[in-house]
Structure 1
Amino acid sequence: MKVLIKQAKIISSSSPFNGQTKDILITNGIITAIGDAISEKADQQIEQPGICISIGWMDIFSNFADPGFEYKETLETGAKAAAAGGFTDVMVIPNTNPVVHSKSQVEYIIQKSKSLAVNIHPIGAVTKNAEGKDLAEMYDMHQSGAAGFGDGVNSIQSSGIMLKALQYVKSFDGTVIQIPDDKSIGTNGLMNEGIISTRLGLPGKPTIAEELLVARDIKLARYADSKLHFTGVSSAKSVEYIKRAKDGGLHVSCSVTPYHLFFTDTDIQQYDTNLKVTPPLRTAADRQALLKAVADGTVDCIASHHFPQNWDSKTCEFEYAKEGMIGLESLFGVLGSMVNSGWSIAALVEMLTINPRKIFGIEIPEIKEGAAACLTIFNADEEYIFEEKMIKSKSKNTPFIGKKLKGKVIGIINKGKIELN
């Protein structure tokens, strides 16, 4: 099958065609020609004003809920959501049932997702059942294809376990992923501790719960001389610690979510349960610090924290609602609407393509003749209202429905398959 993409601006720092507008011919999943005007007849032609193309985007923290919670999401529906959001690669967290803590569970995800258009990379649990007590067989999981290691939404509380994990992954140059959250502080917190939580009468979770674990884990990473990635960073002080660690030459990286860049705790005043997330939405000052950290390169990549919940888990009182929101389909539009915050589309694409693959040692695709096509097609300037019908996920828990976004994904080409919106 031949696909011809007409007059697409190539945005890919690793490509010799970066910044140029070209025609791209793909034959049976391989890029066979790149030129100014390709006239060869194709089975499918993609041509739109303002079209851009980059290597496929990668998300490093999504919950596809499979196995065990397929009523929220499956590998198939998760892959559809990822493709709709422009992602060719997604790392999925291990908080399933059973937990992904052995090579058989890693192999289940890899085998079941082979036929999908999206490459799904399992994150192996650091501890058995992600309970934070006994180390799991990380080496076996690595051999079977686990891309990184972490207990997903269960942040690792024990310093001893964290240190052992950091030392363990060194044998195969692996990376430990952590959502920094000290569970012993603000245990029953429903939102960020501050003026708004007091006004709403909701128990708060202070930023120090996050900052303590960031500081601790940086010290452990230094001691172990190992690789550590913080995801869901939400506090100004956390960013400061991470910047200092990076300046000191440590193997520390971090990612932020689109919703921490877009919303603050003041948005919770309508008690929208879709805004109940972990870590919680912080203050305007924290948000500004995150935006600055994205602009200056302290933040390495963007993580969707795509976390589907069924209708019953969100349509209830704020206190009883489950945490999380879906985020794959809306991610690019949310970030595109904030491009004037100090970063460019080219920088954003870099954070979605090159940086996450470098952190986790995943091969970087190329846009050149003879390379396998792993491409995301998008229009960076198109403005639109995000509607529920655009959601391919099984769950619909997102506060972005009805919001005006900028930057629309046209589709992906990967593994010889085409998924267009």
Structure 2
Amino acid sequence: MKVLLQQVIINDPRSPFHNTTKDILIKDGTISRIADSIEDGDAQLIALNGLTASPGWVDPFAHFNDPGAEYRETIESGAAAAAAGGFTTVFVLPNTKPVIDSKSLVEYISAKSGHLPVTVRPIGAVSQQLEGKDLAEMYDMKASGAVAFSDGLNPIQSSGLMVKALQYVKAFDGVVIQLPDDTSIAKHGLVHEGIISTRLGLQGKPMIAEELIVARDIKLARYTDSHIHFTGISSPKSIEYIQRAKEGGLKVTCSVTPYHLSFCDEDLQDYDTNLKVNPPLRTRENMLALREALRQGHIDCIATHHQGHNYDAKVLEFEYAKFGMIGLESCFAAVQTAVPELDPGQLAYLFSINARTIFKLSPALIAEGQQADITLYQPATQQPFTAEQLRSKCSNSPYLGKILTGKVAGIIKGHHFIHNPVI
């Protein structure tokens, strides 16, 4: 494979070519040359207006449902959706059937994704069968390739179990990922508790359910001197707690979803089940506070929380619809549209560099001699987000039909080059 990127803007704050416009020649999966002008008649030429090259993006929280619910997503369809969205690495949740709580399941995911253009890394379960009682085979899973540990969509409720998990991963400098939610508070909550939930007649879930778990787990991280990563943060108070922890030298990081930046509970007034998510969409004031936290650098990375659902799981009464939406294909444009003030360097950190650092992945540097791990995008291009752009098996997205800013042109990962002619 030989690809020539012509007059591409390099967006990699760690690269000596950052913020410059260069030609990049990729040969046999390696960046062989970067110069003002390169000629190579044998190479596939890519020349697009405003084309920008970033270190390959990482999504640290996505659900591919494989094994067990392949009718919603498979490793292959999920990887195709990731490539369409510009991601070269994706972490997949353990909430499968059977649960990814043993080395054999970790090896299954790794083996099945080995030939794909996107690196799919399994997140190992913290507890056996995700029951929140006894620790799973964490060391064996780590040795087999688990990138981090989490009970995924099942927030860890037991302080005792969380302490054990944090102490256990310390032995190999691992990370525990927590979706913060005290499920004993408003157990049947459907939307954010407030004026909108009352107006809609839907049971609400207050932000304190998230904030209590964040506060507790920060204390446990301090006690164990271990690393915890909070995903799906939706409360400004949670971000305040996390920022204080960082300032205190604790190993605490966090990510936010695109949809918590794009939507608020006011958008639920037509009962759009695609907006039924957990944690729920908060108030407009909270949404704006999350955007400001992103601008200020208080949020470490973006996590799509990609979760496909079949038609029958979403097209029914709001109360009975499943939680979650797909998000890989729309993520970049959704974030850029919601927070257009982010500069290119911030985007590189949010989508790639910080996640690689937090989870100790190999760096993706745009420099000569480095293995190609590159996301290509056009930041200024505006276009409607349509079903034709989806590569997921499901289409439960509230972004469909909306005009978004930002177009992913493709990815280059080693010997793989995926060019998106539509997206």
The bucket for the TM-score relative to the shorter chain is over 0.9
Alpha-carbon distance in 2 for matches of 1:248, 1:190? 35
Alpha-carbon distance in 2 for matches of 1:405, 1:115? 32
Per-residue deviation at 1:343?
Answer: 2.3
Q: Which residue matches 1:359?
A: 358
CA deviations on 1:357-412 (whole Å, 9 max, x unpaired) are 11111111211222111111100100111001100000000000011110100000
Q: Which residue matches 2:89?
A: 89
Alpha-carbon distance in 2 for matches of 1:144, 1:411? 30
- Which 4+ residue blocks in structure 1 deviate beyond 3 angstroms? none
Q: Which residue matches 2:304?
A: 304
Count of paired positions = 420
CA contact (8 A) 2:30 2:414 kept: no
CA deviations on 1:123-166 (whole Å, 9 max, x unpaired) are 00000011101100101101011000000000000000001000
Per-residue deviation at 1:338?
Answer: 2.8
What does 1:144-155 correspond to in 2, within 5 Å? 144-155=144-155
Paired residue secondary structure (1:399): coil
Q: Which residue matches 1:236?
A: 236
Alpha-carbon RMSD? 0.8
Per-residue deviation at 1:305?
Answer: 0.4
Q: Which residue matches 1:213?
A: 213
Whichever residue aligns with residue 41 of structure 2, its letter is K
Please identify, of 407-416 and 38-47, the stretch whose mean Cα deviation from structure 2 is larger. Answer: 38-47
Paired residue secondary structure (2:279): coil
Alpha-carbon distance in 1 for matches of 2:351, 2:2? 27
What does 1:244-255 correspond to in 2, within 5 Å? 244-255=244-255
Whichever residue aligns with residue 369 of structure 1, its letter is E
Q: Which residue matches 1:394?
A: 393
CA contact (8 A) 2:336 2:342 kept: no
Whichever residue aligns with residue 213 of structure 1, its letter is I
Q: Which residue matches 1:183?
A: 183
Per-residue deviation at 1:57?
Answer: 0.4
What does 1:24-173 correspond to in 2, within 5 Å? 24-173=24-173
CA deviations on 1:326-350 (whole Å, 9 max, x unpaired) are 000001111111343x422320121
Q: Which residue matches 1:16?
A: 16
Per-residue deviation at 1:55?
Answer: 1.2
CA contact (8 A) 2:28 2:414 kept: no
CA contact (8 A) 1:302 1:352 kept: yes
CA deviations on 1:191-248 (whole Å, 9 max, x unpaired) are 0000000000000011111011001000000001100000000011111111111111
Alpha-carbon distance in 2 for matches of 1:364, 1:170? 22
Paired residue secondary structure (1:26): strand
Per-residue deviation at 1:42?
Answer: 2.8
Q: TM-score, normalised by structure 1?
A: 0.99
Where in structure 2 are there 5+ consecutive unaligned residues? none
CA deviations on 1:19-39 (whole Å, 9 max, x unpaired) are 010111111111111111101
Please identify, of 190-199 and 280-289, the stretch whose mean Cα deviation from structure 2 is larger. Answer: 280-289
- The reply to whether residue 408 of structure 1 matches residue 407 of structure 2 is yes
% of aligned pairs identical? Answer: 57
Alpha-carbon distance in 2 for matches of 1:175, 1:316? 38
Alpha-carbon distance in 2 for matches of 1:207, 1:405? 29
Alpha-carbon distance in 2 for matches of 1:344, 1:206? 33
Alpha-carbon distance in 1 for matches of 2:131, 2:288? 34
Q: TM-score, normalised by structure 2?
A: 0.98
Q: Which residue matches 1:371?
A: 370
Paired residue secondary structure (1:32): strand
Q: Which residue matches 1:330?
A: 330
Whichever residue aligns with residue 391 of structure 2, its letter is K
Alpha-carbon distance in 2 for matches of 1:388, 1:116? 23
CA contact (8 A) 1:4 1:42 kept: no
Alpha-carbon distance in 2 for matches of 1:337, 1:11? 19
Alpha-carbon distance in 2 for matches of 1:368, 1:211? 42
CA contact (8 A) 1:236 1:285 kept: no
CA contact (8 A) 1:6 1:23 kept: yes
Paired residue secondary structure (1:60): strand
